[in-house]
């Protein structure tokens, strides 16, 4: 059969294939300047326990793992910090223990901190590590106890073993990323006596991003970004400066689980982290959409608005 003998249908298929191929090519080309810009740059990604909501755990994990591996393979240095609040509550329920909260913080007695440690280091952490390592030998799971990474102290006697970060000792992270591994960090810390504390993963992600001078700090959560009105899905804030976020906090617009994220974002961008992002972890490949496309997605936080929009590729930045 010669080319001229193709049926009209075959031509239509060929055209459709051609359009799909050209779209794929343009997506890859659009990513090029970002790949160059972010090569060698460190990105701390906090994966919230709630980001798993809205899709089956397995799918969400597999998609997240693909994004992290792709970032790593194009030369970025991703670091994953994870929480596991819903998973801790689930094991407590199985053990017949009622979770109790005070001002949004889990009251953590000796038994509860044991449960938190089992869930974070024994369940959530190896799930993330395994999902990433489906694609190669990349991820290494650690907790804040390893090499004294997270030093903590009790926040408030009434809360039990809920810790505040006193110090980040990032040597173990530097070691792992220099060896091209992807650290996956469970947010258990310890004090100087070796007592374990459960620490808010949002706070840890920000503290680690600052300690290692990360380019970006990214929160994957269960909402499309910061809203000016929590009840109004159309009120997404696309960009905000640290000062603007301080005002939103003062006005009470930032509530609940968003408070530690926003506090960490503002602190981080004022302390050397270039950009912070709050993204919807339920959107497939949301990390790739943020990092490698012109449009970006979710809420982006920067120190000052009058900087050039550095998430746009710089003209002539290819040299
Ligand atoms: P994660 O597991 O990601 O830490 P959280 O439930 O702790 O999730 O925090 C995200 C939640 O913060 C959102 O689902 C939303 O209900 C709440 N929230 C409070 N204030 C805001 C706001 N201004 N914009 C968006 N979300 C907000
Ligand atoms: Mg939270």
Show pLDDT as tens, one digit a residue, over the chain (319 residues).
444 545 556 666 677 788 889 988 998 999 999 999 999 999 999 998 766 544 566 688 999 999 999 999 999 999 999 999 999 999 999 999 998 888 778 899 999 999 999 999 999 999 999 999 999 999 999 999 999 999 999 999 999 999 999 999 999 999 999 999 999 999 999 999 999 999 999 999 999 999 999 999 999 999 999 999 999 999 999 999 999 999 999 999 999 889 999 999 999 999 999 999 999 998 999 999 999 998 889 999 999 987 555 555 544 444 3
Phi, psi of 84 (to 5 degrees): 175, 30
Query: For ligand 1, is residue 149 a contact (CB within 6 Å)?
Result: no
End-to-end CA distance of the chain: 48
Q: Tell me the two tokens of residue 311.
A: 């998430």
Bridge partner list, 101: 106
Pocket flag, ligand 1, residue 218 (CB < 6 Å): no
139 in Cβ contact with 133 (< 8 Å): yes
Nearest of 99, 77, 78 to residue 87 by alpha carbon: 99
| Residue 132 CA, ligand 1 centroid: distance in Å | 26
Question: Candidates 120, 230, 244: which one to mutate for ligand 1, based on the most atoms within 8 Å of Cβ?
Answer: 230
Range list of H helices, 39-151: 57-73, 85-94, 110-119, 125-133
**Looking at the CA of 280, which ligand is closest?**
1
Site of tokens 């408030």: 156
CB-based neighbours (< 5 A) of ligand 2, an ion: 257
Backbone dihedral angles phi then psi of residue 289, each to the nearest 5 degrees: -65, -40
289: Cβ contacts below 8 Å, ≥ 6 apart: 283, 295, 296, 297
Q: Which two tokens stand for residue 81?
A: 């910090």
77-82, strands of its sheet edge to edge? 139-143, 182-186, 77-82, 42-47, 216-221, 275-280, 299-302, 239-241
Q: Is 49 in the pocket of ligand 1 (CB under 6 A)?
A: yes
CA of 221 to the centre of ligand 2 (A): 8
For tokens 């981080």, the residue is 268
CA distance 36 to 112: 45
Q: Which residues pair with 276 in a beta bridge?
A: 217, 301
Which protein residue's CA is at the shortest distance from atom 7 of ligand 1?
257
Our answer on whether the CB atom of 279 is closer than 6 Å to any ligand 1 atom is no
């Amino acid at each position: 059969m010669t080319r001229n003998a193709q049926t009209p249908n075959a031509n239509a298929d060929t055209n459709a294939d051609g359009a799909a191929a050209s779209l794929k090519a343009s997506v890859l080309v659009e990513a090029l300047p970002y790949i160059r810009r972010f090569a060698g740059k460190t990105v701390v990604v906090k994966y919230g326990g709630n980001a798993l909501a809205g899709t089956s755990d397995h799918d969400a994990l597999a998609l997240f793992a693909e994004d992290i591996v792709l970032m790593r393979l194009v030369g970025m240095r991703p670091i994953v910090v994870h929480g596991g609040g819903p998973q801790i509550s689930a094991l407590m329920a199985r053990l017949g223990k009622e979770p109790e909260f005070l001002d949004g913080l889990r009251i953590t007695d000796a038994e509860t901190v044991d449960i938190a440690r089992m869930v974070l280091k024994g369940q959530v952490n190896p799930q993330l590590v395994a999902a990433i390592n489906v694609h190669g030998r990349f991820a290494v799971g650690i907790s804040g106890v390893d090499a004294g990474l997270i030093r903590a102290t009790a926040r408030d006697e009434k809360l039990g073993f809920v810790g505040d970060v006193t110090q980040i000792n990032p040597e173990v992270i530097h070691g792992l990323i220099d060896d091209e591994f992807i650290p996956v960090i469970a947010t258990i810390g310890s004090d100087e006596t070796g007592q374990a504390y459960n620490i808010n993963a949002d706070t840890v992600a920000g503290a680690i991003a600052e300690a290692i001078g990360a380019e970006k700090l990214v929160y994957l959560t269960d909402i499309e970004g910061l809203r000016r009105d929590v009840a109004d899905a159309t009120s997404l804030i696309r960009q905000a400066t640290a000062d603007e976020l301080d005002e939103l906090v003062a006005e009470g617009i930032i509530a609940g689980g968003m408070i530690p994220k926003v506090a960490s974002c503002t602190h981080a961008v004022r302390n050397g982290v270039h950009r912070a992002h709050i993204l919807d972890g339920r959107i497939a490949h949301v990390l790739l959409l943020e990092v490698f496309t012109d449009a970006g997605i979710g809420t982006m936080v920067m120190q000052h608005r009058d900087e050039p929009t550095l998430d746009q590729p710089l003209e002539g930045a290819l040299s």
